[in-house]
């Protein structure tokens, strides 16, 4: 029996606080056809799911949140209830797949059962089929969920039996232990010596974390520029996705000395700028403060189903029109944000919360997530995916598309996932407040294409902030 960590349980509390949100994360694997026999496929998948403890467990909660929720084995689990089948209406194109996926993801998972669903989808165009994996965010973050999805595929090296249960969190206790001191030591000299050794090493880190905490708090309290990008949401969703060439992105990185994440966020910046202008709104410097989760998962914890993330809250430069200025500004702001200690502050806060009595943290999370917030405008989470192509029942996974959750009064969320030679952007939006998610996806594709052209020297930026074609380039 394992307790949820404070962060894992926080996703349950955030969902409880808003009846319009479902805090499940998902991924769509599109496979080359024909689809295998459903009964045989379901049987194989069931065996792999049952090998993972978390997928045969249910949550047990406590009255008045007197204790953290616990994972307990469900002796009556019916794994075939969780493996479901659907068929797309003709023509079975991307639009039909995305509409169906949005409808699946907007529905909450039943907390009386294990918190996952696996959908097998037939009827896709071009002799293809798909699998949608839906998992509650309290089980895993994007990195762990992607690891699980790869383990469901063919190959002994990706057997689901290797997915370990996360270790139980340390018991909540009012006591503290000084690093480097034996738990049994009562000698005050030992404590003084350890404190002296420790203080020199942690002073700088603590100062950086404090600065980061101040910036995170300020970001949450300072409202972004007023726009249609934030506000109440309904319980209906739209979904769109776009894929860009990873070799093109890598070439952009080499040319401009930036990271893949910089390029992805710059493309998102340019697309949001276009969306705001189409809506008749002025893109301002403070229009797009973005929640950027940062994984703090070590390599040896890649196969543990839980959440291990911190956060950064940079403003994306939608006020800039020039793509190179956007890219350079994103890179500079992320570099500054990382140096500010926001990541360390978030990590320390999550770790410290595990030492606070659970009823207090549960009350705090429920209260904070019910309050209106205008500081954060959107979510952009980047998850490294499989570098090699996957196969399931001998069929090749030709596309892998991420689906982020929507909460905290955000009207859009974007997940970025690399797979083989592509970088996929999955965009979730409120059905009423974000009707232009397809335009947002198209804008991301255009922005990456434009940066790729610039990296080839085909275009140049002008002093007026526009682009000019280099003749003969």
Chain centre to alpha carbon of residue 434: 19
* Strand runs labelled E in 61-192: 70-73, 83-87, 116-124, 128-136
Q: Which of the following is catalytic: 82, 136, 137, 422?
A: 137
* 20/164 Cα distance (integer angstroms): 33
CA distance 258 to 265: 11
In the chain, how many H helices and how many E strands? Answer: 12, 17
Query: Is 137 an annotated catalytic residue?
Result: yes
The answer to whether 232 and 409 are in contact (CB under 8 A) is yes
Buried b (16+ CB within 10 A) or exposed e, 289-313: bbbbbbbbbeeebebbbbbbbbbbb
**Angle, CA of 184, 189 and 191, to the nearest 5°:** 55
HEC readout, 330-374:
HHHHHHHHHHHCHHHHHHHHHHHHCCCCHHHHHHHHHHHHHCCCC
Q: What is the largest CA-CA distance in the chain?
A: 78
Catalytic site positions: 137
């Amino acid at each position: 029996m394992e307790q949820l960590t404070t962060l894992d349980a926080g996703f349950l509390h955030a969902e409880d606080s808003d009846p319009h949100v479902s805090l499940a994360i998902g991924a769509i694997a599109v496979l080359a056809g024909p689809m295998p026999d459903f009964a045989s496929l379901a049987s194989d998948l069931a065996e792999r799911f049952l090998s993972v403890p978390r997928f045969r467990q249910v949550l047990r909660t406590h009255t008045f949140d007197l204790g953290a929720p616990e994972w307990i084995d469900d002796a009556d689990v019916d794994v075939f209830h969780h493996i479901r089948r659907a068929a797309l209406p003709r023509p079975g194109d991307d639009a039909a797949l995305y509409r169906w996926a949005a409808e699946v993801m907007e529905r909450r998972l039943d907390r009386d059962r294990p918190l996952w669903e696996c959908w097998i989808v037939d009827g896709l165009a071009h002799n293809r089929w798909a699998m949608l994996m839906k998992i509650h965010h309290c089980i895993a973050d994007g990195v762990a969920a992607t690891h699980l999805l790869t383990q469901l595929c063919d190959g002994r090296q990706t057997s689901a039996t290797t997915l370990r249960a996360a270790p139980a969190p340390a018991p909540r206790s009012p006591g503290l232990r000084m690093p480097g001191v034996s738990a049994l030591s009562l000698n005050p000299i030992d404590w003084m010596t350890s404190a002296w050794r420790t203080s020199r090493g942690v002073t700088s880190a603590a100062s950086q974390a404090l600065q980061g905490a101040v910036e995170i708090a300020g970001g949450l309290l300072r409202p972004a520029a007023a726009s249609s990008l934030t506000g109440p949401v309904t319980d209906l969703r739209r979904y769109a996705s776009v894929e860009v060439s990873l070799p093109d992105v890598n070439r952009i990185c080499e040319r401009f000395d930036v990271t893949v994440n910089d390029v992805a966020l710059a493309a998102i910046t340019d697309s949001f700028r276009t969306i705001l202008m189409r809506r008749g709104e002025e893109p301002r410097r403070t229009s797009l403060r973005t929640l950027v989760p940062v994984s703090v998962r070590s390599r040896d914890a890649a196969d543990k189903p839980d959440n291990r993330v911190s956060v950064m809250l940079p403003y994306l430069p939608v006020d800039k029109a020039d793509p190179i200025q956007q890219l350079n500004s994103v890179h500079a702001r992320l570099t500054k944000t990382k140096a500010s200690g926001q990541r360390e502050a978030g990590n320390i806060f999550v770790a410290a919360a595990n030492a606070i009595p659970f009823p207090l943290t549960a009350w705090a999370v429920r209260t904070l997530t019910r309050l209106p917030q205008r500081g954060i405008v959107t979510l952009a989470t980047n998850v490294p995916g499989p570098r090699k192509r996957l196969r399931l029942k001998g069929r090749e996974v030709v596309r892998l598309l991420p689906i982020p959750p929507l909460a905290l009064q955000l009207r859009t969320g974007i997940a970025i996932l690399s797979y083989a030679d592509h970088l996929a952007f999955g965009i979730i939006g409120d059905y009423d407040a974000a009707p232009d998610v397809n335009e947002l996806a198209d804008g991301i594709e255009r922005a990456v294409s434009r940066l790729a052209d610039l990296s080839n020297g085909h275009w140049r930026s002008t002093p007026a902030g526009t682009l000019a074609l280099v003749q003969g380039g």
